[in-house]
Structure 1
Amino acid sequence: MNEVLRQEKKYLINISQFYKYSNDLCNILSLDEHSDGEGYLIRSLYFDTLDDKDYEEKEDGVELRRKIRLRNYGPETPFAMLEMKQKQGANQKKRSLRMKREDAKRLSVGDYPVLLNYDEPFAAECYSLMNMLCYRPKAVITYHRKAFVAKENKIRITFDHHIVGTESCYDIFADQLLENSILDPCLVVMEVKYNGFLLSYIKDMLRECDSSELSVSKYCLGRAVSKHYRF
């Protein structure tokens, strides 16, 4: 089980800014080991309660909240990461558990006892929580991510683009999913993640984005059909 506690800032930028910042960062930071070209594929299955507690708390800006997701890096990935992110004031706490592909598939259809195959206390916590609050698969979000890292303060800057999703199929290992665009393809979500403080040269580069800092939730965007449809 892996655990990180950090601050996260999100910005919604356009595609031209993405290429500009990406080009600038290449000169001062290192590319994430998985990044190549436009980035690598990420596919996440989000779980929520029957009454969409996590979705509603995010929309309402509740100070202490969580989200649970199962993530892989394309249909051929031999594993998936079960992750829980918890908002704690200015910080985000993320815990993750690496699961075998077969176990992740079982989890994606609501077979939560598979978590008891793992010795980590985090697995038992997820099992208890997902059963007690009746968590169910709710949406799959797919996108490409280009990421840069710096060892100082564990700084990580990511660009997520071509974001699509579906609320009708939850098999993150499927070769193809019938997904629709949930964000304008000309827009990119930039996230700045760090511990403690940002280095000045990165703050200077991002200064022009300060006015556009906002809370962008891919999960909430992915629930657009079911949450906003009215009879």
Structure 2
Amino acid sequence: MTVLPGRPRHELKFLLAAASKARFLSLIRDGIQPDRHGDEHGAYRVSSLYYDTMDLQAYYEKLDGVLLRKKFRLRYYGLPEEEPSVSFFEIKHRYGNLISKERAVLAPEICGRLLKQESDLDELAERGGSTVERVLGFHHRQPLSPALIVSYLRHAWTGVEDEDLRVTFDHFLTAHPPDDYLSPGRGAGLPFLPPDQIVLEIKFNRNLPRWLQQRLIQHRLRPVRYSKYVEAALAQNVEAVGIR
């Protein structure tokens, strides 16, 4: 059995018509509550600077259906003017529908230099820690470079009885060049999902709650395989353009 680092969780993704979000939300509203990190509706902006190898290993592993894979990204929140106040460097591991995530909190100045392309990943050595050691270990074997930025507006909810249950609705997905981290705040970017569609993600530890499973069936929602990174890369024609 393949063991993922950290605490593995299940992740299911669905494509939901934006017009039907309110109805679906009304079906599950009694079992969820707004994420405390968002506004009164649990909403906030999420942006991620993805890193990949020069031969686009993470990109092709997803397209080829490799079961065990990982992605490296710098994730930041809100609409930064200069340096994001909350940011993490993450390794997202996946084995089928199981995921686990390692993350290292970044100081604003380190995050700012990475986003501005003023330094490479060796800058993380200043941060230290086991996650950084694994990032740099991979980077020194297979150099990682900034590939692109993905940004979207997320409405996040957690379970009322089980706070490990997480339900998120991601709107207005856009792709951005890796050196333009301020563009999400200007309404710029290349949309790679029609605006009338939403990415619904459900994460849970062991079993999907029966009540939620019934609501998904009632709404005729079926899981899909969907990678924001790959869809953004396809929209930006990364195969032809490559990364620096």
Instruction: Choose the corresponding residue for 2:27, options 24, 27, 30.
Output: 24
CA apart distance, 1:180? 1.3
SS in 2 for 1:138: strand
- The total of aligned residue pairs comes to 229
Counterparts of residues 44-123 of structure 1 (less than 5 Å): 44-76=48-80, 77-108=84-115, 109=117, 110-123=119-132
SS in 1 for 2:194: coil
Counterparts of residues 1-231 of structure 1 (less than 5 Å): 3-36=6-39, 37=41, 39-76=43-80, 77-108=84-115, 109=117, 110-150=119-159, 151-152=161-162, 154-167=164-177, 169-171=179-181, 175-176=185-186, 178-208=188-218, 212-224=222-234, 225-227=236-238
Native 8 Å contact 2:167 2:201 kept in 1 = yes
Q: Which amino acid aligns with 1:66?
A: K
Q: Which amino acid aligns with 1:26?
A: R
Q: Which amino acid aligns with 2:146?
A: P
What is the CA–CA distance in structure 2 between the aligned matches of 1:61 and 1:162, rounded to whole Å?
26
- Taking a change above 3 Å as real, the CA distance of residues 175 and 210 of structure 1, as seen in their structure-2 partners, is closer
TM-score relative to the length of structure 2: 0.85
Runs of 4+ in 1 over 6 A off after TM superposition: none
More displaced 10-residue stretch of structure 1: 167-176 or 88-97: 167-176
Native 8 Å contact 1:106 1:112 kept in 2 = no
Percent identical pairs in the alignment equals: 25
RMSD in angstroms over aligned alpha carbons?
A: 2.4
- Taking a change above 3 Å as real, the CA distance of residues 153 and 21 of structure 1, as seen in their structure-2 partners, is same
SS in 2 for 1:125: helix
String of CA shifts for 1:63-95, please: whole Å, max 9, x gaps.
111111111112333131111111124311111
Native 8 Å contact 2:148 2:175 kept in 1 = yes
String of CA shifts for 1:87-110, please: whole Å, max 9, x gaps.
124311111111012111223325
SS in 2 for 1:152: coil
- Taking a change above 3 Å as real, the CA distance of residues 217 and 208 of structure 1, as seen in their structure-2 partners, is farther
More displaced 10-residue stretch of structure 1: 45-54 or 162-171: 162-171
CA apart distance, 1:208? 4.1
More displaced 10-residue stretch of structure 1: 137-146 or 165-174: 165-174
What is the CA–CA distance in structure 1 between the aligned matches of 2:55 and 2:180, rounded to whole Å?
18
What is the CA–CA distance in structure 2 between the aligned matches of 1:201 and 1:160, rounded to whole Å?
22
What is the CA–CA distance in structure 2 between the aligned matches of 1:175 and 1:11, rounded to whole Å?
26
CA apart distance, 1:175? 4.8
Q: Which amino acid aligns with 2:209?
A: L
Q: Runs of 5+ in structure 2 lacking a partner? A: none
